[in-house]
Amino acid sequence: MWGVISYLNSPELVVGFQRCCGLVLRETRSFTPQNGCINANGSDKDGPVTIHRRKAEQVANGTSRAQDSNSNYKCDSSQYEIKEHPRPHYEVRNWIFYFLFVTSATLGHEVFYITFLPCIHWNLDPFLCRRLVNVWAVVMYIGQVMKDILKLPRPPSPPVVKLETRVDAEYGLPSTHAMAATAISFTLLLSAHERVKFPFELGLIVAVVLSALVCLSRLYTGMHSVLDVICGVVISAVIMAVSYPYWGTVDFLQLHSPISPVVAVVLPLFLSYKYPELDHYSTTRGDTTIILACSAGCSIGYWVNERLGLTFDLVGPFPVALPPLTLAALGLGVARFLVGLVMLVLTRQTVRWASLRVLCRIYGVSVSDVDARRRKEIEVPYKFSTYVSIGLVNSILVNRVFVMMGLWDLGNSV
């Protein structure tokens, strides 16, 4: 069993997949430890290389041990053989695979969440968006916490080619991209089947293909091992299977319980502040706060809509037949998407700008001080307030603006 796990976690599997898809490492810059120690995230990109140079200077000055605050890198510098080579370069031999997998990888990034999930709300059914956000938040929180508890490294580079750097300081197992893709694809499939008429087999094929593309993109970009991806899919599937019988109950309590708004704010904020601490900065806490805050804002918004008596949900009995996709309907959908996206982006920029300046003033630090903005007492509240606001605007204001602009037919909602 251990042999199978070691095999699936091998970077050689990732390298083999990259080579099959036409992505090949050409030159490497290495910092070679004689005792086998490597950076905890397995990277040899720009950030760690800078650390390596600093370590070289410390060795020259007689320092016997070094540690960088933004990496999980600890080894005796006296045991290192320092080698400086040209920056890693890779060669793309198949541009079709390159664009396919790089595009697929964005399906697990903020730009996808802030466009796709609201688009479901604006153009299809707010019920489906609510269901997706709830499952997405639970799955992502569990995945992010597991990463920082297990602390298993990402595949090392070299030999793996790494195409992303922002999340390189994060740990590897499980792949939260794989978890999110599985959760979103199959939650939408199962929930939409209850609400609208469509060929279930076709929906199943689409869900499998989208999930597979995101999973394979994590191998292509060199950010995860096969084991990371498989564990991500399995964990997400287990969470969905266990929680599925309770989706309806959670939805009812979320809309009708008088304490729903309190729980929606207090619980995510508590989980954000109590996120596992690391000995180096990682984007996981901030990203988790963003996800929980979006969920909190949307939850409050849906509860408010229920009180106001206008939810913009599809009219039953279910499942309903979707109207034909005409040019006029497509144009209205695109217009709603663009107007809604502009409102969300303006909300993000405005609240982020204001909250950062208030918090930095309270703690007496500069807004331009990146290290200060990474402190928990600043990062958590400014990101939480920003994305709670986005969730509120998405769920309460955007559809009402559509009505004012003539972009929404109230005959299609309740």
193 included as an active-site residue: no
- Angle ∠(31,102,134) on CA atoms, nearest 5: 105
CA 344 to chain centre: 18
Which of these is catalytic: 52, 224, 256, 280?
A: 224
CA distances from 397 to 10, 106, 294 (A): 49, 27, 15
DSSP secondary structure string, 69-135?
TTS--EEEGGGEE----PPPEEEES-HHHHHHHHHHHGGGSHHHHHHHHHHHHHHT-HHHHHHHHHH
Return d(Cα 242, Cα 219) in angstroms, integer.
28
- Per the annotation, the verdict on 224 as an active-site residue is yes
| Tokens (6 digits) for 412 | 């299609």
Catalytic choice (52, 109, 177, 280): 177
Assess whether the previous peptide bond of 317 is cis (omega < 30° from 0). yes
Beta carbons of 55 and 74 less than 8 angstroms apart: no
C-alpha to C-alpha distance for 388 and 392, rounded to whole angstroms = 6
Residues with catalytic roles: 177, 224
